[in-house]
């Protein structure tokens, strides 16, 4: 028995499903998950000594790769001064100012410990500001595991085939409306019926939790227009896309200014962190400035702030993003070429260094179309790729990522191995 298999056996006795986050269990792709011993640059090494080129990147935050020297030094320096204070530190102010410079719509920001905390708090602020209860989300978009978000959610809910989640009261679920992403007519119909009751629209600007789905050109402008007309707030959930698809996130890339933004992942450089922010008048509703209560013992943790500052400093130039996007585009094009040669229906896409693959003819514009992907073939492809040293997300319904640690040689190796793995998977 491999060491990973032995660890997984032990884990299942003490952790639900053997993991601390569902998709890690590999149930959608089969086999036993590998357990990581170490990581550096673009590679993970498991407890059995096998090494993989990593395109999961801890599900997005590692835009510089694993353990980049500048971030590692910042973490060590911060930890040496104490790793939690229960009192303010200067790093919180510095990171907030840096986020505001990169995202002008985020006039004020509150740091929290996870993306789920950020989205829950942003919705609370929206409801307080508008004095309305309903929120509108989009099928397959995942905004964390808060009760109100587990209505037609993506991510692990889609991967495991769960129909939302038990334990969510019907009264809470009833406050969330959901329509297909990219469906302008459906959004207009909801606003026509319930516009006076909608506190907010919350959306992943580029969907990353049912694979990768880009917005159609008029989708976000329509959301902005309808929110303005009906007095609802527009919330961009940029936990995944923030500082990933452009220097100022998806809102810079598509040219739409949301009222509130949620962040995570990259702003902590891989440390546990989240944030929500937006218009100053809205954020001044948050305690202690205002009556909307939200707090967190470890919020603004000095180690996470240091990691975030170092990460954003290293990604500060347009050249950084241009180089990363070129490399991602070459990877995606190589995978698409392999699929054409193998006569495998495939839809691929990317924005910045965020990318995704569907084993289905395109275009894929929403969750319903994403579900047409061949999950059986994807599972075989994933296993074959892993055996060849390439780690793709262990789900047909997750986006993948490229980091600045991935070299041109890594991209060439990946294209070659994924081509061969696709041939093996198709032959099974």
Closest CA to 123 of 104, 97, 151, 95: 151
Annotation marks residue 265 as catalytic: yes
Question: Nearest Cα to 81, choosing from 274, 301, 278, 256?
Answer: 301
Pick from 387, 315, 356, 304: which is nearest to 50 by CA?
387
DSSP bridge partners of 210: none
321 tagged catalytic: no
Tell me which of 46, 54, 55, 142 is the catalytic residue.
142
User: In sequence order, which residues have a C-beta less than 8 Å from that of residue 251 and are 6 or more positions away?
Assistant: 103, 105, 205, 236, 238, 257, 258, 261
CA-CA distance, 419 to 396, in Å (whole number)? 17
Q: Which tokens go with 206?
A: 């580029």
Instruction: Choose, from 46, 54, 183, 237, the residue flagged as catalytic.
Output: 237
Residue 405, burial from CB neighbour count under 10 angstroms (0-12, 13-18, 19+) = buried
C-alpha span between 346 and 331 (Å, rounded): 14
Q: Which of 121, 92, 111, 96 is nearest to 260 (CA)?
A: 121
Q: Residue 80 corresponds to which tokens in the numbers above?
A: 């040496």
Distance CA 287, CA 405 (A): 40
8 A C-beta contact, residue 401 and residue 243: no
| 3-state SS class at 103 | coil
Helix, strand, coil share of the chain (percent; to 5): 45, 15, 40
Q: Is 367 known to be catalytic?
A: no
DSSP, residue by residue, 320-367: HHHHHHHHHHHHHHHHHHHHHHHT---EEEEETTEEEEESS-S---SH
DSSP readout, 236-284?
Answer: EE-TTTTTTSSTTHHHHHHT---SEEEEEGGGGTTSS-EEEEE-HHHHT
**Is the separation of the CB atoms in 137 and 180 below 8 Å?**
no
Catalytic residue among 137, 265, 276, 358: 265
Catalytic residue positions, numbered: 142, 237, 265
């Amino acid at each position: 028995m491999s060491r990973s298999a032995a660890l997984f056996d032990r884990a299942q006795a003490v952790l639900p499903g053997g993991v601390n986050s569902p998709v890690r269990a590999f149930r959608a792709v089969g086999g036993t998950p590998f357990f990581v011993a170490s990581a550096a640059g673009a590679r993970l090494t498991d407890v059995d000594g096998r090494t993989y080129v990593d395109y999961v990147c801890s599900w997005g935050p590692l835009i510089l790769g694993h353990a980049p020297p500048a971030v590692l030094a910042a973490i060590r320096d911060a930890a040496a001064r104490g790793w939690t204070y229960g009192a303010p530190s200067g790093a919180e102010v510095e990171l907030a100012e840096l986020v505001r410079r990169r995202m002008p719509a985020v006039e004020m920001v509150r740091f929290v410990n996870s993306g789920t905390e950020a989205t829950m708090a942003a919705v609370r602020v929206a409801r307080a500001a508008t004095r309305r209860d309903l929120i509108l989300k989009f099928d397959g978009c995942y905004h964390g595991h808060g009760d109100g978000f587990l209505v037609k959610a993506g991510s692990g809910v889609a991967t495991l085939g769960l129909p939302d989640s038990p334990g969510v009261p019907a009264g809470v679920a009833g406050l969330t409306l959901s329509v297909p992403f990219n469906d302008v007519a459906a959004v207009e119909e909801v606003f026509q019926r319930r516009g006076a009751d909608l506190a907010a629209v919350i959306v992943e600007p580029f969907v990353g939790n049912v694979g990768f789905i880009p917005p159609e050109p008029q989708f976000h402008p329509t959301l902005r227009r309808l929110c303005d007309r009906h007095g609802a707030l527009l919330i961009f959930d940029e936990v995944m896309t923030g500082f990933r698809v452009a220097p100022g996130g998806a809102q810079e890339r598509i040219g739409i200014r949301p009222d509130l933004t949620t962040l995570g992942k990259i702003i902590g450089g891989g440390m546990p962190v989240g944030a929500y922010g937006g218009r100053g008048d809205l954020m001044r509703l948050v305690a202690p400035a205002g009556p909307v209560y939200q707090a967190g013992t470890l919020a603004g943790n000095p180690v996470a702030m240091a990691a975030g500052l170092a990460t954003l400093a290293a990604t500060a130039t347009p050249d950084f993003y241009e180089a990363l996007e070129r490399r991602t585009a070459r990877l995606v094009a190589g995978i698409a070429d392999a699929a054409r040669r193998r006569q495998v229906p495939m839809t691929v896409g990317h924005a910045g260094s965020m990318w995704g693959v569907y084993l289905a003819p395109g275009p894929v514009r929403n969750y319903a179309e994403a579900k047409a992907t061949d999950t059986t073939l994807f599972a075989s492809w994933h296993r074959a790729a892993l055996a060849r040293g390439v780690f793709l997300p262990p789900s047909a319904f997750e986006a993948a990522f490229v980091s600045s640690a991935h070299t041109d040689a890594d991209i060439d190796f990946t294209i070659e191995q994924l081509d061969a793995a696709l041939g093996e998977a198709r032959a099974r």
